[in-house]
Structure 1
């Protein structure tokens, strides 16, 4: 019996040794994350010093170069890989002031890629869209826009978000407000439709008719928050004015006050510039041709500084890579990180990478993508891979219970078809998983808004996501098994009566904004 016990012990010794080694690495990941976190300094350098990262801007290029330098300072190989070209543009000083019938500085900004003004700016009266009978009457009205700023957004009936109304208003008052808003929105949309245009195509028509500028207001249904996207004008400036000031100007026009505004928007057209992904890797030692990929898009809109979309995802992946290089410098599989360009315009950076690197995509063990905001990861689903429960659950068991207990899992899940860069890999058949976060009012307050700034980051949650990501990457790298790519059979579509199909790879836009 003694000999048998000794024999069994010797057989199990390698497994016990691996288990102890695994526990040590996991403990060291947590120790480094908690005791030597670089998140706040990385966040400051990226978000405060560099700022927003709109594709085609010098700030986007500065961010790519900064990331490469940072990785190299940690002993991690990194480079910028060009995937295409984009309209080059640089935001300058924006001032928007009402100058008549009184003087007031207004809250707003120029939209992305908008044509600029001279340093002296332009001054003109504001007008709003009329009540439109039909396309003929609209064409007759069009010449009146010449030399004027045209307001193209609906006047909102309230600047208070619905949750504020729900808390303080009577139920009757809340319902009355919602009904009035629905009626106003329907009437506004039908009015534009009668012009023969829609909300997008009407902008070039106004520009061609001689408008001096376009004034928009895309309220985000939150206090002080407006969505800031791209301009649709080619020669005249487009500015977005926050709801509070926009509504005041609109009422002035309605009451015949003939308000005038002065706009300075000193942006620059930089021609055509190259567009990049930043790629860094820790080379595998046993299976270097197989890949664990950490994924986050690097670009942002530029109403704020892109802190939660996707500064926080970027910080998670950079900090996870730094920690892995320090405590797990010789991974079994290659651990690669992709900081993708132009996700906001249609996953262009990641879909280009998938198209350009089949040798990597065909040998992916797992992709972990993080995008939606500052919150701790709340959900992971199996992305439609039939056996995903086996390996995702196995890897998650190594994650500390303080983090794991807050995560909901769904298997086999559903294949991502858009929304973020994991979809680019899923469409190519690679097991790619979204680390989906708690909201923290992301959709209304910070998603593509002027309020998406450093102060909205919840660093405790970001730190939790770093530990989760680093441990999942470690476990995926060390796993003895190659992950299965077997896909679920999708159900019948109730609308078409046909079986739904797996998403197909999208064709990236490699020459954008031109």
Structure 2
């Protein structure tokens, strides 16, 4: 998941906690095509309408919301998103940026969504192509032990013979600075405590460059997770300009703490690290786009999304296969019910999100001329566990509308509208003032499996995915069919 090139993606899923977005006023109007409600001739702005009128309008979608929920949770579509995800991940496997597997994944999804009766096309992008290669680490002293590692995205490799060096174990950047003279020609091991992903990920992002500044030859970083069963986590790291690039990998919590205990006893630690990692020229790839065209204002868009790429471990089922599948499933549910909203519903399956939202940034650059016609952007990239609510960033007027929309989710008990929509891929739109929403799930286990071999279908639950799909479809459909676009303050 989460910015590279510009700002490491790693921190991006939390970067919106301090951002207050706005949104713009626009045109259109509600009613689903299969209903008998007449379309009014002149569209008005929500800010000029009484709150009671807006509430009444949204409440008019209660029946159609229940139809969507019933189909997703109890009806013929029950467990469909889970089955689709299982078939996809079992067939393709993991899908790192630039890989053959990612190419296969894009072709798979293009064919599958086309067969589903959706309007599907591919939009070309250029994406990073980092290759892990073979890698290993072993502790030679004070005793022999193999260390489980995962090299970090964009890391350079070691010389072919590897790097054999004494280890300096620190618990913070501050300690590293205090002990800078001890770091020269050492492998720096960061044994930082886990506070939160948003805070602790800085060690993965910047650890290599900070260690290189004081003369280290490589870094091994405690995996960014609160829980481990000797499982290392990968992810993107960000070399700083003008600083020597040194090899960097994550190790397990267990091994980081083991070396910390040795260091506290004053025992000399020696490690041999070998990594074949390298970065190849940027690769050709695609964002995958599927649509249900709006019946009245096809140029206006509600955008749903998840990312198709993953890291090169596990199956990428949780991050972000689930988000991609519910964004497809939402369109399927609406199509199956014979619904066609006033505006276009567009699902985008991004590429190279893990490399910093690369595909999404190129999509934004290509389509930003249509900024005023993007009604709402939605992203699911923090798992598809049990949904607890919707996170939203927008103007006060837009928030009032969304508060009414989530009331339609009462049958599945997810009526909370929380602050701060987030997501690497939708962030350019939100920063430009487009309303943004993200799925909030019971995610306490998310960072247990994040970027590891453990990110497989075993983590997923079909009923949870049913509920996530229902929430995603109801919100997207109702917003796309309302009389007016969501208001923006600028």
Choose the corresponding residue for 2:129, options 66, 73, 88: 88
Cα distance in 2 for residues equivalent to 1:427 and 1:308: 26
- TM-score norm. by structure 2 comes to 0.70
Q: Say if 2:425 is the partner of 1:421.
A: yes
Q: Do 1:112 and 1:302's aligned partners in 2 also have CA atoms closer than 8 Å?
A: no
Q: Quote the offset at 1:348 in angstroms.
A: 4.0
Matches within 5 A, 1:112-511: 112-116=153-157, 122=162, 124-128=164-168, 138=180, 145=185, 150-154=187-191, 199-205=207-213, 211=217, 213-224=218-229, 227-231=233-237, 237-252=247-262, 260-302=270-312, 304-328=314-338, 330-358=340-368, 360-389=370-399, 391-399=401-409, 401-403=410-412, 405-409=413-417, 416=421, 419-442=423-446, 444-448=447-451, 451-479=454-482, 481-487=483-489
Q: Secondary structure at the match of 2:289?
A: strand
Cα distance in 1 for residues equivalent to 2:445 and 2:65: 36
Deviation string, structure 1 residues 287-338 (Cα, Å, up to 9, x no partner): 3222222122334445654433322211211222233333336544321111
Q: Quote the offset at 1:242 in angstroms.
A: 0.7
Cα distance in 1 for residues equivalent to 2:440 and 2:168: 41
* Higher mean C-alpha deviation, range 328-337 or range 227-236: 227-236
Q: Say if 2:19 is the partner of 1:14.
A: no
The change in CA–CA distance for 1:123 and 1:427 in structure 2 (over 3 A counts) is closer
Tell me how large the CA RMSD over aligned residues is: 4.2
The change in CA–CA distance for 1:221 and 1:247 in structure 2 (over 3 A counts) is same
Cα distance in 2 for residues equivalent to 1:419 and 1:35: 27
Deviation string, structure 1 residues 67-108 (Cα, Å, up to 9, x no partner): 22221221223233234x343122334343445565433322
Cα distance in 1 for residues equivalent to 2:213 and 2:391: 45
* Higher mean C-alpha deviation, range 45-54 or range 107-116: 45-54
Cα distance in 1 for residues equivalent to 2:363 and 2:227: 36
Cα distance in 1 for residues equivalent to 2:428 and 2:161: 43
Q: Do 1:299 and 1:341's aligned partners in 2 also have CA atoms closer than 8 Å?
A: yes
Q: Quote the offset at 1:153 in angstroms.
A: 0.9
Q: Do 1:152 and 1:214's aligned partners in 2 also have CA atoms closer than 8 Å?
A: yes
The change in CA–CA distance for 1:200 and 1:363 in structure 2 (over 3 A counts) is same
The change in CA–CA distance for 1:263 and 1:325 in structure 2 (over 3 A counts) is farther
The change in CA–CA distance for 1:349 and 1:134 in structure 2 (over 3 A counts) is closer
Cα distance in 1 for residues equivalent to 2:148 and 2:329: 35
Q: Do 2:313 and 2:451's aligned partners in 1 also have CA atoms closer than 8 Å?
A: yes
Q: Do 1:310 and 1:373's aligned partners in 2 also have CA atoms closer than 8 Å?
A: yes
Q: Do 2:170 and 2:176's aligned partners in 1 also have CA atoms closer than 8 Å?
A: no
Q: Between Structure 1 and Structure 2, how many residues are aligned?
A: 421
Q: Quote the offset at 1:389 in angstroms.
A: 5.0
Q: Do 2:68 and 2:333's aligned partners in 1 also have CA atoms closer than 8 Å?
A: no
Q: Which has the higher contact order (CA 8 A, sep 6+)?
A: 2
Deviation string, structure 1 residues 356-409 (Cα, Å, up to 9, x no partner): 21354322333332222232332335523233355435544544x331x33312
Cα distance in 2 for residues equivalent to 1:154 and 1:27: 46
Cα distance in 2 for residues equivalent to 1:307 and 1:475: 28
Choose the corresponding residue for 1:62, options 82, 85, 104: 104
Cα distance in 2 for residues equivalent to 1:239 and 1:80: 34
1:166 corresponds to which residue? none
Q: Gapped runs of 5+ residues in structure 2?
A: 1-34, 39-59
* Higher mean C-alpha deviation, range 26-35 or range 453-462: 26-35
The change in CA–CA distance for 1:21 and 1:445 in structure 2 (over 3 A counts) is closer
1:495 corresponds to which residue? none
Cα distance in 2 for residues equivalent to 1:155 and 1:440: 20
Q: Do 1:109 and 1:303's aligned partners in 2 also have CA atoms closer than 8 Å?
A: no
Deviation string, structure 1 residues 394-440 (Cα, Å, up to 9, x no partner): 544544x331x333125xxx565x64434332333323322322223
Cα distance in 1 for residues equivalent to 2:69 and 2:485: 25
Cα distance in 2 for residues equivalent to 1:248 and 1:130: 13
The change in CA–CA distance for 1:314 and 1:121 in structure 2 (over 3 A counts) is farther
Deviation string, structure 1 residues 450-505 (Cα, Å, up to 9, x no partner): 644432223322210101222223323333x0223243xxxxxxxxxxxxxx8xxx
Query: Who wins on radius of gyration, i.e. which is larger?
Result: 1
Q: Do 2:163 and 2:273's aligned partners in 1 also have CA atoms closer than 8 Å?
A: yes
Cα distance in 2 for residues equivalent to 1:133 and 1:409: 41
The change in CA–CA distance for 1:244 and 1:463 in structure 2 (over 3 A counts) is same
2:3 corresponds to which residue? none
